[in-house]
Amino acid sequence: MLSPQLQMNIPNVVEEVKAAFKRYEQALMTNNITVLDELFFNSPSTIRYGAGEESIGYQAIQDFRKGRNPSNLSRDLQNTIITTYGQDFAVASTEFTRTTLLNKLGRQQQTWVRTCEGWRIVAAHVSTRDLSR
């Protein structure tokens, strides 16, 4: 049970996080590294576990983005769920498919925190699941 003071899914907070998530997705599809870097919290504690790498710390995440192949980034999202806890904390979960990921379902989860600069990702995880079995 949550603390009585902690409200889940306050409508305006959900909309704010949805907008930040949509901005991230657009930046990801266009390989807008400036926006992608902006939306991750600039801290050595920020983590991104990708499908093929582990980036621990903001600098490692930046380095991954700079070295990533920018081709075939398009994907289709499904089952996106944004859950907020209070005014300043949220989790965004989604599934995705890509033409380059045959018989695989991608999964992405991000932890978002409201900072003085706006909503920022403090932890992210991307993985795939084999659908051919």
Tell me the pLDDT tens digit for each residue of 71-86.
778 899 999 999 999 9
pTM over 0.85: yes
Percent of the chain at pLDDT > 90 equals 75
Report the percent of the chain where pLDDT is more than 70.
Answer: 100
What pLDDT is attached to residue 100? 81
Residue position matching structure tokens 């990921």: 101
**Is residue 101 assigned to a domain?**
yes
Q: Is residue 2 part of a domain?
A: no
Give dist(CA 121, CA 102) in Å, integer.
28
pLDDT at 1 over 80: no
DSSP per position, 87-104? TTEEEEEEEEE-TTSTTE
Decide if 4 is inside a domain: no
Please report whether residue 104 resides in a domain: yes
Domain count, the chain: 1
Task: Read off the pLDDT of residues 24-59 as tens digits, 9 standing for 90 and up.
Answer: 999 999 999 999 999 999 999 999 999 888 999 999
Which tokens go with 97? 């498919």
118, part of any domain: yes
Q: How confident is the model at residue 88 (pLDDT cuts 50, 70, 90)?
A: very high
pLDDT over threshold 90, residue 102: no
**How far out from the chain centre does Cα 46 lie?**
12
**Position 50 in a domain:** yes
Query: For residue 66, is it within any domain?
Result: yes
1 within a domain of the structure (yes/no): no
Q: What is the CATH number of the domain that holds 126?
A: 3.10.450.50
Q: Identify the domain containing residue 30 by its residue range.
A: 11-130
Strands, DSSP E only, in 9-75? 47-49, 54-56
Q: What is the CA radius of gyration of the chain?
A: 15
**How confident is the model over 84-109, as a mean pLDDT?**
93
* Residue for token pair 């991307």: 126
Q: Residue 65, Cα to own-chain centre: how many angstroms?
A: 14
